[in-house]
Amino acid sequence: MRQKLSKQNLLLVGFTLFSMFFGAGNLIFPPFLGARAGVLTWKAMSGFLLSAVGLPVLGVAAVALSGGIGKLAGRVHPGFAFLFTLLIYLSIGPCLAIPRTSSTSFEMTVFPVLEQMGVSLNSTVSGTGFTVQTMAQFGYSVVFFAAAMAVAFRPDKLTDRLGKILCPTLLVLISVIFIGCLVWPMGHYGAPGAVYKSGPAVTGFLEGYQTMDTIAALNFGIIIAINIQAKGVDQEGAIVRETIRAGIIAGILLALIYAALAHIGAPAGAAAGSMDNGARILTFVAGNLFGNAGMMILGLIFLIACFNTCVGLLSCCSQYFNSIIPVIGYRVWVFLFALISLIISSAGLNKILAVSVPVLNAIYPIAIVLIVLAFLGPLTRRWPAMYSAAILFTGAVSVVYALEQSKFVIPFLTQATTFLPGYGAGLGWIVPAFAGMAAGIIYSSVMGDQEE
């Protein structure tokens, strides 16, 4: 008998996956893209949706088909599987994504209130050497991470809270802001910024990296599969099928919300002036639409989204590190990651975003190629060296590009990679990826490492 989830459970799992994906970056990047792309917003969004929706959905499916990120990356090499999985968890965990949840929610909940109160945020607190903004952000982060840590201590309670309560609440609140923009439009879409004029779709595609959802999908996929199994679906093929269906539901929700957020930001570009991130763009729009009520709605949106993601990531990362270093208990890992994230979040949202760009440009291409290879099962089984060769070629170029973004040039090698098609746009890894696949086929054929 063919197993499948009930419609209610399928929606619940899809909403849960959406809630796991939808956090700080998902809120701040689409409106900022709209504000900067202006009349080219929808061309830019075509690329953004490909990398921020399409790839994460494929990532969930790839992990479900492969039986987990460890098995998928292990097809390259066991050492690579460990290192890459570790790097992913650190990126979506205490080094970038978790600190960003606190920084972004601070920008949306406390920062506007302090500005309205006329507090001089750049003034120095007597006897500390720190600004008022730094001290306020640190105090907020202490409370934020303490609350997230307390909830993460009970990972068995997360699914119902995300899927049944917080996700619908979040969708309703975002709809209020979007409908307000439709009823009281702020004007026409503005002129596009220089970075979007030449290749809006490519720029949008690279902006989609910032959501971190493709690399998060490599970890979330197996968690969703486990939740589906807990609902009574235990046949392997059925679990994969239902995981993909849940991923599609999450993807549709993401695409709709991203489009709404981009439309919110697009006409605000000219009016908002030199706002330097999407959080402040949304603050400007909500304040103009609904005044203080709008600020409260927006603050609640960010608090729910960021808190959900923070709790989920704390739990996910702590479970992984507890599995590889079991001598340290799960709750101790939760505390350690909350503490590390607290320290890093004090740097502020803009600095965290600046650091995340080169890191994600190094990791994302590798994750994308792994996902593509997962769907080339017959070919990779016939020529198994495709995995290692494709990842080696891709990783070499993506790391060189990321280092160059960080002002670190490798003599001769950096100059050589600049001749690759699409390198200047951050897509120089595509040709090497295909070249690596071809090299893997040739190697497997010559060495007789083929499966008939």
Whole-number Å distance between alpha carbons of 77 and 65: 18
Residue holding tokens 């009281």? 184
Domain boundaries, the chain: 7-347, 361-451
Provide φ and ψ at 67, rounded to 5°.
Answer: 85, 20
The pLDDT value recorded for residue 220 is 72
Q: Across residues 77-89, what is the average pLDDT?
A: 86
Superfamily designation of domain 7-347: Amino acid/polyamine transporter I (1.20.1740.10)
- Burial of 7 per CB tally in 10 Å (0-12, 13-18, 19+): exposed
Identity of the amino acid at 110? V
Residue holding tokens 């500390």? 128
Q: Across residues 233-242, what is the average pLDDT?
A: 78
Whole-number Å distance between alpha carbons of 354 and 357: 6
Q: What is the pLDDT of residues 282-315, one digit of tens each?
A: 888 888 888 888 888 888 888 888 888 888 788 8
Cα–Cα–Cα angle for 317, 212, 347, nearest 5°? Answer: 75
Q: What is the DSSP letter of 192?
A: P
Provide φ and ψ at 131, rounded to 5°.
Answer: -75, 165
Provide φ and ψ at 362, rounded to 5°.
Answer: -80, -40
The pLDDT value recorded for residue 444 is 85
Of 306, 296, 253, 261, the C-alpha closest to 282 is 261
Helix (H) or strand (E) holding 144: helix 132-152
The pLDDT value recorded for residue 139 is 87
The pLDDT value recorded for residue 452 is 46
Of 47, 36, 24, the C-alpha closest to 426 is 47
Q: What is the pLDDT of residues 365-377, one digit of tens each?
A: 898 899 889 888 7
Of 249, 271, 255, the C-alpha closest to 42 is 255
Of 2, 9, 19, 11, the C-alpha closest to 254 is 19
Whole-number Å distance between alpha carbons of 202 and 421: 13
The pLDDT value recorded for residue 276 is 63
The pLDDT value recorded for residue 348 is 62
Q: Bin 409: left if φ > 0, else alpha if -120 < ψ < 50, else beta.
A: beta
Q: Bin 233: left if φ > 0, else alpha if -120 < ψ < 50, else beta.
A: beta
Q: What is the pLDDT of residues 242-267, one digit of tens each?
A: 888 888 999 999 999 999 999 888 88
Three-state secondary-structure class, residue 124: strand
Yes or no: say if 35 and 275 are a contact pair by the CB < 8 Å rule: yes
Residue 435 banded pLDDT, cuts 50, 70, 90: very high
The pLDDT value recorded for residue 160 is 66
Q: What is the pLDDT of residues 340-358, one digit of tens each?
A: 888 888 766 566 666 666 7
Provide the mean pLDDT of the chain: 82
